[in-house]
Amino acid sequence: MTIISEKVGNTDKQSPLVTLDAHSIEMGFSPKIVGILCNWCSYAGADLAGSLHKDYPPNIRIIRVMCTGRVDPQFIMRAFAVGADGVLVSGCHPGECHYRTGNYKADRMISLLRVMLSQMSINPDRLLLTWVSASEAVKFSRIVTKFTEDLRKLGSLSK
Ligand code: FES
């Protein structure tokens, strides 16, 4: 794998993003991710990541919903149907949903959908549910980076 370094001060610091890009070029595949984020926690966490320059791969396209409980399974299936290689659904931590139980509902829905995906010969690891609060910018950045790497290993869904 080609490693590209960037100079930071007097030391060579390897940027995970630069490495990821080099890996992407070598692998020839850059996954497309649809991120469905709740307004109150994960969207705010993603926004904070941007404000704090906590870089994450540009593979994700974010859709804001008021609550993960609002996510219809059809949103996810539609994302896969139109070319997404992975879907990330992210909301408030359990017990912190602004609509009380929306994230519990999303948790049950995602579990069922993952079983359905398996039956359709789609790797369920292409669908990820996470909890990210408004202050967890670093966590959001790490999740997107890891999910991108995992999808890169799985390859394109459309091939
Ligand atoms: S408001 Fe964030 S998951 Fe319900």
For the CA of 103, the nearest atom of ligand 1: 3
Say what the pLDDT of residue 110 is.
Answer: 98
Say what the pLDDT of residue 28 is.
Answer: 77
Residue with tokens 């992210």: 90
For the CA of 69, the nearest atom of ligand 1: 4
Inter-residue contact 3 to 9 (CB < 8 Å): no
pLDDT band per the 50, 70, 90 thresholds, residue 27: low
Across 13-32, average pLDDT: 57
CA distances from 128 to 35, 72, 139 (A): 9, 15, 14
pLDDT digits (tens, 9 = 90+) for 38-83: 999 999 999 999 999 999 999 999 999 999 999 999 999 999 999 9
Q: Is 117 near ligand 1, meaning CB less than 6 Å away? A: no
Is the per-residue pLDDT at 138 higher than 90? yes
Is the per-residue pLDDT at 118 higher than 70? yes
Is the per-residue pLDDT at 145 higher than 60? yes
pLDDT band per the 50, 70, 90 thresholds, residue 122: very high
Q: 120 alpha carbon to ligand 1 midpoint, in Å? A: 29
- Domain locations along the chain: 31-154
Q: Which of 81, 103, 86, 85 is nearest to 94 (CA)?
A: 103
For the CA of 91, the nearest atom of ligand 1: 3
Pick the CATH number of 31-154 from 3.40.630, 2.40.50, 3.40.50, 1.10.10: 3.40.50
Q: Is 86 near ligand 1, meaning CB less than 6 Å away? A: no
